[in-house]
Chains A and B, each alone.
Chain A
């Protein structure tokens, strides 16, 4: 199988998916659409893991959750995703101590259509690699990273990338002679 991972400069595909947003009865599920995210005018960070109820995942997901506020400060909507169904997500969240307090939605790509469009499906089991996408407010992919199934991610690296992408230097005292003027 040939994977063509959606990369920098591409438009992030449109989607409408179920997500788990709470473990409180009656408030568990929410329909997330790319339209709503675009309408919010914010950045989006979507990170994928292969399977619920496996070992590396909760550590990594808890780490993303620990930095939830840091993403919010950078005007980014954080979304976790896998190809498990929303019911599996909910069961896992209820089951695992580190996941009960998650602040971001767990997206259920049950049909695997989004993972397929993103080019991050592993050939044999058709589960998602540990991919991370940073998408700007215009819906354009600005950063992609794809790790193999067993490799954990560094959340701080994602934050560093966001700082760099969001252009931290607009001050004219940094202009180099001969450089085009800044259009910010």
Chain B
């Protein structure tokens, strides 16, 4: 009477949550489904809860997920989350802004991490020499741009970027809960990404 549904279904369900529809789950996910891994349910709950965080609008949650997909170079995830973001009211320009922000952060995360690691006067006082004009007036708004920057920086492990963007967000009046929800979303979508 109280038998479980199979993890095969769970694999498809977790894909659906991020807008992916494939006839067969990707190999690593499939391997977990085949061995009936308990983890699949945890993963599904984590992804669902992260996307439904109370401090993030649906559109924002999908756009943050999209940034993770771009950063982790997972086309199928990028496509799925982009569709969900558009369906939740995002515009093409906003999607483009998130993709741009993620790309720019990939430059900054490497560059500023170097400065932070070495911590010598010449490197830290010389002009950056990287154009960042999209930061001036982003379509997605400055606060959300900061939030995307923070999540991507957390993924890429740049301490200086993470601390700076977190402080910038607090100055924007962003609550700590929203910051934490965004970073959790980034972390959890990445954990799904490694199985795709």
Chain A residues close to B by CB (< 8 Å) = 21, 30, 32, 36-37, 40, 42, 69-70, 72-75, 77, 163
* B10 surroundings in chain A (CB, below 8 A): 73
- Closest B residue by C-beta to A41: B2
Residues of B within 8 A of A32 (CB): 1
Q: Does B108 contact A (CB under 8 A)?
A: no
Contacts between chains A and B (CB distance < 8 A), count: 24
Instruction: Across the interface, name the chain B residue whose C-beta is closest to A32.
Output: B1
Of A21, A70, A72, the residue contacting B4 (CB under 8 A) is A72
Of A36, A69, A73, A163, the residue contacting B2 (CB under 8 A) is A36
Q: Is the CB of A72 within 8 A of B5?
A: yes
Distance A70 CA – B5 CA, assembled complex (angstroms): 12
Give Cα distance in the complex from A69 to B45, angstroms.
11
A contact residues around B48 at 8 Å (CB): 70
Residues of chain A within 8 A (CB-CB) of B44 are: 73
When chains A and B are docked, how far (Å) is the Cα of A74 from the Cα of B2? 13
Instruction: Find B1's partner among A36, A69, A72, A75 (CB 8 Å cutoff).
Output: A36
Interchain residue pairs A-B with the least CB separation, the first 6:
A73-B41, A40-B2, A77-B2, A73-B45, A73-B44, A72-B5
B1, B5, B13, B45: the one contacting A163 at CB < 8 Å is B45
Residues of A within 8 A of B4 (CB): 72
Cα A75 to Cα B5 with chains together (Å):
10
- B49 beta carbon closer than 8 Å to chain A: yes
Q: What's the least CB distance linking A152 to chain B, in Å?
A: 19
- Distance between Cα atoms of A69 and B41 in the complex (Å): 10
A-B contact pairs, 22 of them (CB 8 A): A21-B1, A32-B1, A36-B1, A36-B2, A37-B2, A40-B2, A42-B2, A69-B5, A69-B13, A70-B45, A70-B48, A72-B4, A72-B5, A73-B41, A73-B44, A73-B45, A74-B41, A74-B45, A75-B41, A77-B2, A163-B45, A163-B49
Chain A residues near B1 (CB-CB < 8 A):
21, 30, 32, 36
Q: Which of A32, A73, A75 has the most CB of B within 10 A?
A: A73
Query: Number of residues in B with C-beta < 8 Å to the partner?
Result: 11
Q: In the bound complex, what is the Cα–Cα distance between A163 and B184 (angstroms)?
A: 15
Contacts of A74 in B (CB 8 A): 41, 45
Using CB atoms, name the residue of chain B closest to A19. B1
Nearest residue (CB) in A for B40 is A73
Interfacial chain B residues near A30, Cβ < 8 Å: 1
* Interface flags, B47-66, vs A, CB<8A=1, else 0: 01100000000000000000
Interface centre among B1, B2, B48, B49 (most CB of A within 10 A): B2
Chain A residues near B49 (CB-CB < 8 A): 163
Q: Supply 11 further A-B pairs (C-beta < 8 A) apart from A69-B5, A73-B10, A75-B41.
A: A21-B1, A36-B2, A40-B2, A42-B2, A70-B45, A70-B48, A72-B5, A73-B41, A74-B41, A74-B45, A77-B2
Measured between alpha carbons, how far is A73 from B47 in the docked complex, in Å?
12
Chain B neighbourhood of A72, CB < 8 A = 4-5
The B164-195 residues at the A interface (CB cut-off 8 A) are none
